[in-house]
Amino acid sequence: MSHSYLDSDIDMSKQEDVIDSDNLPVIDFQCINEEKQKLHEACMDWGIFRLVNHGIPSGLLNQLHETSKQLFHYSFEAKQGLFSNSPITYFRGTPALDSQGRALQPPRNVECMEGFNVPLNQLLSTHASQDDDASLPASFRGLIEEYGKHQSRLAETIYKAITERQNEGLEDFPSYLSLSTGFLRVYRYPAVSQLNESSWGMDAHTDSSLISILNQDLVGGLQYYRLGRWFHVCPIPNTFIVNLGDLMQAISDDEYKSVKHRVRLNKHKERLSIGYFVFPDDDRLIHSQRYKPFSYSDFRAQIQQDLETVGYKVGLQRFRRSG
C-alpha cells in the first residue's frame, strides 16, 4: 500500500506475537447507508474493515490478476521499458512513494517487492500509442481502466457514508475527497524459501491517504496492528480490505485511526495484491481541531524531510496542535 516507514516502536521480528484469528468488521457495500453505525464503529475501533457485495465482477478481478502476473514475469529490463509511452510506471523495492508514484527515499528490501504504479486520471486522459499497444498485453490497459472506475465508485460511496455520519447535523461540511488523485498500485511479492526477521515484503507503516482499498489473492501475508498485537488478515475470495489513512484520521480529529499494517512474505508462493489510494487535492487545506491547517502537499514534503533527517515517517505528529 502507499507506504512510508514508521518509528521503531514496532518489533517486527516477534512472529510468535502474530495472531491468526481475523475478526475484522464486515461492511456490506449494498447496505452501507443502513450500516453507518457499524461503519462508524469499524473506523473508530479498528481503522480497517472487510468490504463485501462491492459489485465488481469476479471475472474482471480474475483477468486483472492473471494479466498482471504475465507482466511481472517479463524480464527486469522489459518491465522497465514496458510503459515508456504510458503514465504507468514500474518500480522495484519498497520506497516511500507519493501519490504520483515518485520515490521519497531510496528503496529498501529491493528484492522483496515490485510493482506497477497507475495514476488513473492521467491514464484516462491519454490514449495509448501504437507502440504502447504493441508492448502490452492487449487487455491490460482496458482492465486497469475498468477496475479504476469501479474503485472510484467504491471510494466515493464509502467516504460519503463515513463523513456523513461524522458530520451529521451540520448544514455544510467540506469534502476533502478528490477522485482525480486516485491511483492503483499492483504489487508482486516473491516467494522466499528462507524466511527470517527481515523477510518483509513491506515494512510496518500507515497509509498517507484518506482511504485505501486492497484486493489481494489467496496467498495471504497482510497483517494489521491493533490493541498492541499483530493480526493476520485472512484472504477471502471476492472481498476487499478497506483501511483508513493518515488524512482521514486528521479530518476526523483522531476519532478514526490510520491503521498500521505490513506484509509478510511467503515461503512457497508469490503474492499479488492491487491497492487503490485516494487523497485530497495537493493544495486543499485540511482544517482540524487537533491539527494545524495543512495540505497534502505539506504532509508529503514533511515526510520527505523526515525520511532524509531521521530515517522514518513521523506523520501526523508533526502537525498536531500543542496543548
Residue 16 CB-density burial (10 A; 0-12 exposed, 13-18 middle, 19+ buried): exposed
Rounded Cα distance between 200 and 232, Å, is: 14
How many C-alpha atoms does 250 have within 13 Å on its Cβ side?
Answer: 30
Name residue 278's amino acid.
V
Write phi, then psi, for 79 (nearest 5 degrees): -65, -35
Quick one: which H or E segment has residue 126?
A: none
According to DSSP, the β-strands at 261-264 and 200-205 are antiparallel
**In the prediction, which pLDDT does 318 show?**
95
Per-residue cell: 142: 482496458
Paired strand residues for 291: 320
| Tens digit of each residue's pLDDT, the chain (323 residues) | 443 333 333 334 444 467 766 689 999 999 998 999 999 999 999 999 999 999 999 999 999 999 999 999 999 888 888 877 788 888 887 555 444 545 455 444 444 789 999 999 988 777 655 444 445 555 788 899 999 999 999 999 999 999 986 666 555 666 899 999 999 999 999 988 776 666 688 888 999 999 999 999 999 999 999 999 999 999 999 999 999 999 999 999 999 999 999 998 988 999 999 999 999 999 999 999 999 999 999 999 999 899 889 888 899 999 999 86
Q: Are 220 and 266 in contact (CB under 8 A)?
A: yes
Of the candidates 99, 315, 91, which has an alpha carbon nearest to the alpha carbon of residue 186?
Answer: 91
**In the prediction, which pLDDT does 138 show?**
58
Q: ∠ CA 85-125-104 to the nearest 5 degrees?
A: 65
Reduce the DSSP state of residue 1 to 3 states and report it.
coil
Reduce the DSSP state of residue 133 to 3 states and report it.
helix
Q: Where are the alpha helices (DSSP H) in 49-139?
A: 58-72, 76-81, 120-125, 130-135
The topology (CATH level 3) of 15-319 is Jelly Rolls (2.60.120)
Parse the chain into domains and list their residue ranges.
15-319
Task: Print the SS3 string covering 246-271.
Answer: HHHHHHCCCCCCCCCEEEECCCCCCE
**In the prediction, which pLDDT does 5 show?**
30
| Residue for grid cell 525520511 | 307
Paired strand residues for 178: 279
Rounded Cα distance between 265 and 94, Å, is: 13
Q: Roughly how many angstroms between the first and final C-alpha of the chain, as a whole number?
A: 33
Q: Are 205 and 187 in contact (CB under 8 A)?
A: no
